[in-house]
Amino acid sequence: MRYVITIAVFLGVLIVGAALYVWFGVYNIAATEPHWSITSSLIEAVRERSIEVRSEDIQVPNLYDPKFTEAALPHYHEMCRLCHGAPEYPPEEFAAGLYPHAPSMTSGDLQKELSDAEIYWIVKHGIKMTGMPAFGPTHKEEELWGLVALVKEIPKMGLEQYRQQIKEMGLTEDMSHGHSHEESEHEHK
Ligand code: HEC
């Protein structure tokens, strides 16, 4: 019986403590305040395993089919590039303030760590509380797989190849995500 009371008191103190912690705003939610390294390691482990487990059974189509990259390039250029960058198009200024940071697509590191199925899962579902959006609700399957193919391709692409593809599709640097095909006079840099 004594043990039960001790545990109950302990739990009670814990709950009240947690409530006071929240109520007095002790936790600093600012993006400018990094996590402790132990918190970061824990979040990373949770993220990695969560994605690994959920992408295990995903069937990957043949990503070499050019229809995929063609379907994806306008989407990449108008959205992903703003946070992750593209060959010689650095991310937008606001992306520097994201926490966690959006990793570079051009360095090739991310591509070494993630399988095709994992990239697909991330792009489709997004990552909670990070700024990485879910594209599944707004994009077709073909476009999602296209984004995977493009993510794999980007570290190997030079500026010229990337620019040429953008030009061929009638995209310009500043266009909004409306898929308009108007040419603008504005040149990059
Ligand atoms: C508003 C900014 C933003 C946009 C737009 C965005 N992302 Fe992200 N993305 C992030 C952030 C932030 C992370 C890091 C999440 C984390 O650390 O858990 C991320 C993570 C990722 C990752 C996982 C990287 C890793 O190392 O685990 C992939 C893959 C990815 N994004 C692909 C894309 C693609 C493809 C697009 C476009 C369809 C896109 N993102 C658009 C912010 C963005």
In the chain, domain spans: 1-29, 37-168
* Ligand 1 centroid distance, CA of 1 (Å): 52
Closest Cα partner for 163 from 86, 79, 85, 48? 86
Tens-place pLDDT, residues 23-34: 999 999 999 999
User: Which pLDDT score, from 0 to 100, does residue 174 have?
Assistant: 54
Of all protein residues, the one whose alpha carbon is nearest to atom 38 of ligand 1 is 80
Q: Which atom of ligand 1 is nearest to the CA of 148?
A: 35
CATH classification code of 37-168: 1.10.760.10
Of all protein residues, the one whose alpha carbon is nearest to atom 39 of ligand 1 is 80
Of all protein residues, the one whose alpha carbon is nearest to atom 15 of ligand 1 is 130
| pTM, two decimal places | 0.88
User: Which pLDDT score, from 0 to 100, does residue 171 have?
Assistant: 75
Closest Cα partner for 103 from 119, 83, 123, 117? 83
User: Which pLDDT score, from 0 to 100, does residue 167 have?
Assistant: 80
For residues 102 and 108, give the distance between their C-alpha atoms in angstroms, rounded to a whole number.
14
User: Which pLDDT score, from 0 to 100, does residue 169 have?
Assistant: 79
User: Which pLDDT score, from 0 to 100, does residue 165 have?
Assistant: 82
Ligand 1 contact via 169 beta carbon (within 6 Å): no
Spans of the chain, pLDDT less than 70: 173-189
Confirm if 102 and 84 have CB atoms less than 8 A apart: yes
Residue 86 β-bridge partners:
89
